Each structure stands twice: as C-alpha cells, then as structure tokens.
Amino acid sequence: ALLNLMPKKIQTENQFARLIGATPLQIEFSLIRMSEHQTKNTAADHMENFYRPFAEVEATGEKFDGLVITGAPIEHLPFAEVTYWDELTRVFDWTQTHVHSTFGVCWGGMAMINYFHGVPKHILDAKAFGCVRHQNLAPASPYLRGFSDDMVMPVSRWTEMRRDEVEAAGLRVLIDSPETGPALVEDPGHRALYIFNHLEYDSGTLKEEYDRDVEAGKPINVPANYYPDDDPTKTPQNRWRSHAHLLYGNWINEIY
C-alpha cells in the first residue's frame, strides 16, 4: 500500500508504482489517504476513484505485506501541529499489527522515527537541495545488495535528522552523507526502513521544484550537482535511477 501525503498525488503514485512494480512479483498496489484531509492539488474524482481513506482500511482489518508512507510539504511544522497527526500516529501503531514492513520516506520517515524513538528533526538554515554524494555504511545489508560504496541521491528538504541522535536511539544508519546526514536508517524492532531523501524522484522532479520556486519569487539555490555545469538551461542528468530500483527491489525481496 502507499499512504500518499504528497500534494502531487498522481506524480508520486507513478514514481513508487514504477519502482515497486519492476520486480518479477505481481504486486497488488493499494492507495490510501488520510481520512479527513482534503487535497487541493489532485482532482476529487481521482481521489474518489483510486484512494481509500485510512479509517476505511483500518475498519476492514486488512493486512499488507508492505506500506510506503510518503513525505509531505509540512516539515516546518512541529509534528504535533500537523492537522492529521493524531490519525497518522494511529497509522504508525496499526503498522505494527497489520503491515509486515513499512518504508517511511522523507518527512514520513522523520515522523515515524520521531514517534517511535523520540528522535527530533532539526530545521536547516538553507534548504538541502540537489544531488548529494552518499556513503554506503552497510554493504552486507540485504537492503543494499548490489549498491556501490558511494552513490548520488536527490535531496530536497528543510530539515535533517542527526546521525548521533539516530544511533543513540539504537538504530542503524545504512547510508550517510557528511553533507546532509543520514539518508537510510533501519529499525528492525518496528520492521521499518526510513529514507530521508528521494531516490523515487523522476529525472525532472528537482527541476520542477526549482522552476516553481523561481516563478513564485522564493529564495532558492540552483540544485547542486544536478544540471551539467550547474547550468539550469541544460537538461538534468539522472544518476540515481539504478540505486532506486535496487533499493526498492531489495526491499520487496526481503518482504517475500
């Protein structure tokens, strides 16, 4: 299942479906939304036709092999001030009895690690934005089977989790960057993985975010190491696609 908290619902569901559907297994993909929260950026008929509110899923007692909880553009808010926080914490608790493995992505991962372990998120002075080189700290991990010793990941966030605080909570950092901190964290006790960056992004997703902010007159840096020569007039290059397929393919393999 995909609990989709992103504003551009269709784009996000396609990104994850492309990765999760690329394995030899037949995956049945369910789309879930928060029960009370109304999205402004996706057509109501699409939400009605393809998404079920969490309350409905919860009431059926249905169980899932895997659940992806996406990021959300609300990272400036304290967790408890998010309008659907109470329901989201119900989701987190529900995963412990109804989901075999949960994958929390960006804000979704930060929210899970905060709820289960009390690890705080920290506001950054400037947005971490671009393609950042990361180090593979756990090459023997089954989730990183086939991974290079270092790799590039798209990063787009105003907050961070700190490695010392993550490790103090007894969790294992699998991928880390000296520049932007932990990227992939394993939480065996809750059968969960948390990724704070966006391997699922399409080639042009950072460009769309950059162009949107420029058009809105918001202060934004050119995404680092994304455009050739850091020149926004040039076509961006995708240097993370292979690791995206590896990670989500490895996750599906570990579930089954």
Q: Is 209 a catalytic residue?
A: no
Q: List the one residue out of 143, 151, 207 whose CA is nearest residue 11.
A: 207
Q: Measuring CA to CA, how many Å separate 142 from each of 25, 152, 188, 244?
A: 18, 19, 13, 15
Give bridge partners of residue 123 from the DSSP assignment: 159
Q: Is 106 a catalytic residue?
A: yes
Give bridge partners of residue 185 from the DSSP assignment: 173, 194
Out of 106, 134, 186, 243, the active site residue is 106
Enter the tokens of residue 209: 């975010």
Out of 13, 75, 160, 200, the active site residue is 200
Q: Is 200 a catalytic residue?
A: yes
Out of 134, 190, 198, 243, the active site residue is 198
Residues belonging to the active site: 106, 198, 200
